[in-house]
Structure 1
Amino acid sequence: MRRLLPLLLLALACSHRPAAAPPPAPAPAAPPAPAPARDADADFRALEHRYVVEFLQRNPTESTYLGGSGFDPALAEADGRLRDLSPGALAEELQWVERLQRAFTDARALQSTSLRIDREVALAQLRYLHHLYAERRYQERALDSYVDEPFRGTDASLQGMTRTGEGTLGTAAEWRALARRLRAVPAYLQVAQDQLQTGVTRGNTPDKRMLVRDGLDTPLASAEYLSKTVPALAEARASGPEKEALVQEVQQAGAQAGEAFRTFRAFVAKTFFDAPDRREAGVKPAFAQDHYALGEPEYDWALKHDLGVSETSAQLFEGAQGLIEARQQEMVQLARDIGRSHQWRLPADGFAAVRAVFDRLGQDYPKSDREMVEGYRAAAFRLVDYARKTGLFEVPQDYQLEVVETPEPLRASVSGASYYPAPPFKRTGVGRFYVTPTGNDVEGLKANNVHAMADLSAHEGFPGHDWHYKTLTRERDAFGPLRWLMPGAVEDSSSMWADSMASEGWGLYAEALMAEPAPGAPAGFYTPEERLYMLAGQLYRELRVRVDTGLHTGRLTYAQAVDLFSQVPDFLPGSCTAPRLSAVKRASCKGAEEAIYRYSKWPTQAVTYRLGRDAIRSLRAEARRQAELAGRPFDLQRFHLALMRQGPVPATFVRAQVLRGLAGVQ
């Protein structure tokens, strides 16, 4: 206590001292600087770029098809791979899909109308992928997708190669990437076997027709193409000091790929057939029932979510009949006019009169497949000359169009003609208008007579697909890159088909456009005979709507659809299953069955032609109406460019944007 007492007294003394003045209050802190406002549009563009790169990394064939390395150099390595559809890879991909769905859903505060459209397109694409793989589990039965991918990847590699000299194509790096892709075929087809085997266990299997054509026939064609045709192309096109080594590498890889396809065919034959030589009759009973129909709920889901169409399959099926009948009557009248101009005696029955005119016109046919291909090329450039003279489009003087025979592996899906564009993200490559040879079959050549060529050339060549894709590629900076993407596949039963509604809708629109009056051409481009085939083309696509919706919702059987496809567009009565068929009817039924097979495995693709055309026509009519209300002339050329500057998406997605742009409103 003695030591504590002095301290206590000191403390008490100190407590009685006067208080010191308080220290001055600190100056109020300056408010924190506001965080810089985030640019939602810039953030979205970064998200979009990442999405496109990651999508194409997961879809390497599509990356090559689109020229992905021209979009982002990181995609160059994808040119040496094939898609990974193994269970583990798909599980990870579905997680990626869900992450991207959340990211695009959250991107709401966008100022740009164009980016808002990109957002909706991306969400539709991601929704489709989740539905395809997680809900439908389509990877377990996607036989045609599996056998098409290696061919498409190889063909896309060849189409996109750099020109290295007169008659030579492909850098050393491009040929090596192709060889790596060929070496990837065995592992890829092993995954296909595993997935199809899982489908067998689950009862989720391909239709018997697909088992025959894509399971037995296409693998043999692909084996031949990859092991023989591709090495021969390397020998003919490669150049430079490494040519010998490159050709040898492609030869070895092609041989491995060809052997893998033969092994895959053996798996299909053993798994699904008792007697593969008997084709459909040899399919095992467990797989012999029809298994192609998508079903009405799924079809309606696809119409709404993939194509942006408000009508249901039932409404489309019923509504198509009136359009078909009206088009038939239009053709009857024109056929009678043609008959009078040639002084032909025609049957009293209207449909028989149309058939009689077709038979007469069919006598002006090419005498070989080579002559047929040349005829289509000549017709396409007649159309180009017409567009220049009438000012319908501004066609550059150096415009080129390549018309060639359809490669063998594609012929199971391409019964007449098709178009494969140049890679839009690259400056190299060329689009091709494919014409499927007839094998010099006389009836097939008659179906491709000189009067029939203009309409198909307008669709596949100019001003259809070739002009459309060339314009889209030239204007690609005007729209978001994700609009080029094709979820599921480029073109097989896994495809979403939104791009088809844009491209095939334009193709069908282009056919009819060339029949419209133009400056100096009051009757349009076609002769009356060519116009009859143009109307037949329109009828063909109108019938497709009824057939496709009927096939996939149970309103039509496969055999009924084949009969309709011979009876209606070819004006040939009778069933294709009748015991005795004329040569003309037999050829018609063969073409009809090939078409119905394609529709049976590609649900909704067949309706995209007419629905896409109608969407363009509706948009054009509204644009004309608004121009007239505003007191300004309607510029058709400007309308076409405004539409194509929206990219390869259905007009249903971009209608408001096109109208605002034409009105000068951003």
Structure 2
Amino acid sequence: MTTHPAGDGAGHARARSALDDVANAFVQRSAALDPFGATALGIPGHDHLVTDYSPAAVDARAELSRTTLDEISRTSPVDAVDEVTLAAMRERLGLDLELHAAGEVHSSLNVIASPLQGMRDVLDIAPQGTSEHWEAIAARLSALPQAIEGYVESLRWSAGRGRVAALLQVTECAAQADELADPATSFFTEFVHGPAAAAALDDSSACAAVRKELEHGARAASEAYGTLARFLREELAPLAPLDDAVGRDRYALASRYFLGATVDLDETYEWGLEELARVVEEQTAVAAQVAGRGATVAEAVERLDADPSRTLHGTEELRRWMQETSDDAVRSLNGVHFDIPDPVLDLECRIAPTQTGGIYYTPPSDDFSRPGRMWWSVPAEVTEFSTWREKTTVFHEGVPGHHLQAGQAVHERGTLNDWRRLACWVSGHGEGWALYAERLMADLGYLDDPGDRLGMLDAQRMRAARVVLDIGVHLRKPAPADLGGGVWDAAKAWDFLNANVSMTGPFLRFELNRYLGWPGQAPSYKVGQRLWEQTRDAARESAARAGQPFDIKQFHARALGLGSVGLDVLKDALT
């Protein structure tokens, strides 16, 4: 990949180390084994290829992790940057191997983050500006049946060993595949005839040939998803367990993977209940500011939802408001609370082509030719949006949340190797920081409006509630008395969400299905925030013991300059 010199984060030159060479080589080898991942990272040369999901390919990626761990064990760190790289790679690649050995990679199937979605979602971030880009997209679409064939092979292989996703995930994913397969609704058909393709392809005979290949590729991709839907419904569903819970052992492994830290799951569950009660108490106080003394949270929400000045109509109005809110935050924070590098100042807000209900961020490419982007996936039936709910979401996905975090890491070319800048992502670090950023913006005065503050607390309440729900369901813990006692299950989880989250039905149903099928990920937000705050407080105490002032701006700069690492590695590096 690149052969740039490195630095120490303070503008001083730092020669690239032997450990950096190993890490950079790992990124290149990973890109060759995972072309979809290469596109996500902005690594050129792979955009016409598809990722192989067959058991043999899954094993090959695990073998790369294994040989890389062997290499770094023989490579001595030369400075503090290397020390963090060594710790982070041991932690991440070691967990990759644990997940592979447990069969979690082969059996990956859920409603939001499995190969089923990834094979489609990668097209959102593929380069689309030239006819050559669309020629690569056509080749990728035409090859997509091979990727799906390998994916089915792995799911079948895993099923033969007794590992199948819960029936809910199988049936919901079959429905997603049906939608992509239906010629009347298929994303692929709309994509190849969309405005981006039209803008890049002129009337020349060469472009006419590309259009023909795109249409062929769209048909091939749609038909392949039809094959996948039939496999899921006819072959996998009869083998799928009804129980959504994965059990303590599988959950503990998933929790370590998503946090980059080991936590006491039972203590965390009890803390989640306490944190939920604390947030509800704070919400109640703010509700009185919104709707008058004695008002309930529900009454305050009703008043805010009825306020026309806080209502957006249609997705284009939502997109414009997202962009304006994000741009205002960048301008006011830069140079005051954060020093934002020039390439990171640009953030694009977009409405996603999908309609699943998710909100997500995609980081910039290595050279920033593709900027960071905030995406809103809006269900077709949702046409109105409340700014009071979503202002905190813009801070979460944008600045100072994911965009500042990921963009800063990509920009650290002078300090970090390519693995740490581009490839390493730990959910608890990333989502924990984004939730930390929401609370930080409230502390800085950006959410002083009672409605906006209630929106932030609404988001914090949801994240606390799903710590309880996620651990409760998957560890089969006793349910609270107000849910009727007994053992946590999907029905109790639905009642619990409705009592604690002010989302509309389609959004809320998607959220629950996500938690049930992606154990350990949802708690990584709130638990990650908790660990970030503990690390900050530990750094403040360390400075006090040394008789030094604690500079929060400097702390944030140091933390973000490390890139996304496991939260145990983060704490060791900062304290």
Asked whether 1:208 is paired with 2:167, we answer yes
- Provide the C-alpha distance between the structure 1 equivalents of 2:331 and 2:448, rounded to a whole number of angstroms: 13
Alpha-carbon distance change, 597 to 46 in structure 1, aligned in 2, over 3 angstroms: same
Summarize the Cα distance change of 1:397–1:205 in structure 2 as closer, same or farther, 3 Å threshold. Answer: closer
**1:346-398 deviation per Cα after TM superposition (whole angstroms, max 9, x unaligned):** 55xxxxx111011000112223333333333333234334425x822345789
Query: Where do residues 416-455 of structure 1 align in structure 2 (5 Å cutoff)?
Result: 416-423=358-365, 425-439=366-380, 441=382, 445=384, 448-455=385-392
In structure 2, stretches of 5+ residues that fail to align are 1-14, 478-487
CA distance in 1, matches of 2:41, 2:489: 37
Is 1:593 aligned to 2:535, yes or no?
no
Which amino acid counterpart does residue 500 of structure 1 have in structure 2? S
Higher relative contact order (CA 8 A, sep 6+): 2
- Residue 490 (structure 2) aligns with: 558
Aligned with residue 199 of structure 2, among 217, 237, 251:
237
Taking structure 1 as reference, are residues 354 and 42 closer, same or farther at Cα in structure 2, changes over 3 Å only?
closer
**Is the counterpart of residue 378 in structure 1 residue 324 in structure 2?**
yes
Q: Does the 8 Å CA contact 1:234/1:250 hold for their aligned counterparts? A: no
The Cα shift of 1:328 comes to: 0.8
Aligned to 2:3: none
Q: 1:295 to 1:219 in 2, by over 3 A?
A: same
- 1:252 CA displacement: 2.1
Aligned pairs (5 A) from 1:64-75: 64-69=39-44
RMSD (CA atoms)? 2.8
Q: Matched residues in 2 for 1:611 and 1:481: separation? A: 28
Structure 1 residues 614, 315: closer, same or farther in 2, change over 3 A?
same
Q: Aligned to 1:113, which of 68, 76, 80?
A: 80
Say which is worse superposed, 213-222 or 111-120, in terms of deviation. Answer: 213-222
Distance in 1 (CA, whole Å) between partners of 2:229 and 2:117 is 13
CA gap 1:484/1:134 in 2 versus in 1, 3 angstroms: farther
The alpha-carbon deviation at position 535 of structure 1 amounts to 1.4
Task: State the distance in 2 between where 1:233 and 1:563 align.
Answer: 42
1:544 maps to which residue?
466
Q: Classify the secondary structure of the residue corresponding to 2:361.
A: strand
State the AA in 2 paired with 1:52: V
Amino acid at match of 1:133: H
Q: Which residue of 2 aligns with 1:136?
A: 103
**2:298 pairs with one of 355, 364, 369:** 355
Instruction: Compare CA radii of gyration and give the structure with the larger one.
Output: 1
1:624 and 1:93 map into 2 onto residues whose CA distance is: 41
Alignment match, 1:329: 281
- TM-score, L = length of structure 2: 0.86
Report the counterpart of residue 257 of structure 1 in structure 2: 221
In 2, Cα distance between the equivalents of 1:403 and 1:93? 33
Sequence identity percentage: 22
- Whole-angstrom distance in 1 between the partners of 2:546 and 2:460: 33
**Cα distance change on mapping 1:605 and 1:434 into 2, 3 Å:** same
Deviations 1:398-432 (A, max 9, x none): 93332221222xx43xx242212222x23311222
**Structure 1 residues 392 and 336 mapped into 2: Cα distance closer, same or farther (>3 Å)?**
same
Within the candidate set 395, 398, 417, 1:458 is matched to 395
Equivalent pair of 1:132/1:138 in contact (CA under 8 Å): yes
The 3-state SS of whatever aligns with 2:391 is: helix
Give the corresponding residue for 1:248: 212
Question: Is 1:612 aligned with 2:528?
Answer: yes
Helix, strand or coil: the match of 1:139? coil
TM-score, normalised with respect to structure 1: 0.75
How far 1:588 moved relative to its partner?
Answer: 4.3
CA-CA distance at 1:317 after TM superposition: 1.0
Using the TM superposition, give the Cα deviation of residue 171 of structure 1 relative to its aligned residue in structure 2, in angstroms: 5.6
Equivalent of 1:289 in 242, 249, 253: 242
Q: Equivalents in 1 of 2:518, 2:372: separation in Å?
A: 23
Q: Does 1:478 align with 2:419?
A: no
Q: Would the aligned equivalents of 1:207 and 1:289 in 2 still touch at CA under 8 Å?
A: yes
Distance 1:222 1:124, change over 3 A: farther
Helix, strand or coil: the match of 2:442?
A: coil
- Which residue identity does 2:69 align to in structure 1? Q
